Amino acid sequence: MSDVTDQNTSNRPHQTIDFEKVEQSGQFKSFMQNKKKFIIPYTLFFLIFYFLLPVLTSYTTFLNTPAIGDISWVWLFAFAQFIMTWVLCTIYVKKAASFDEQAEQIIEQQIDSGDGGRAS
């Protein structure tokens, strides 16, 4: 059985929670679906954008053309990767905070619904 003794929830400092029951709940399954809908597209975008630079510089000469004065497109693309990383990190941190709140609410609701979240 997966349970944690003294799980610190916001209102109940000494509860034992059966995480297997929480995992089987419809709320948790919906939560995981929403989390996947967020994580998978962002991960795919990151990987494609990240690996596009070495692929384009290895197999094409498009990025070697000047964009602004003597600055080529490869430098702009490389700089854009830094910006993309910081933007995605910021978005993820904000979204992860909401995921944490949703997970806490699911645990609270399981505890409040009788023995739904309590270990037996």
> Number of folded domains in the chain?
1
Q: Is 45 inside any structural domain?
A: yes
Q: Is 80 inside any structural domain?
A: yes
Q: Is 120 inside any structural domain?
A: no
Q: Is 56 inside any structural domain?
A: yes
Q: Which domain holds residue 107?
A: 3-112
pLDDT at 111: 79
The token pair at 115 is 């023995």
Q: Is 11 inside any structural domain?
A: yes
pTM over 0.95: no
The token pair at 53 is 């630079």
Q: Is 117 inside any structural domain?
A: no
pLDDT at 113: 73
Q: In which residue are the tokens 């905070």 written? A: 97
pLDDT at 22: 81
pLDDT in tens, the chain (120 residues): 444 444 454 555 556 777 888 888 888 899 999 999 999 999 999 999 999 999 999 999 988 999 999 999 999 999 999 999 999 999 999 999 999 999 889 888 887 775 544 444
pLDDT at 107: 85
Q: Crossing angle, helix 26-59 and helix 73-112, to 10 degrees?
A: 170
Q: Left if phi > 0, otherwise alpha if psi is -120 to 50, otherwise beta: which for 68?
A: beta
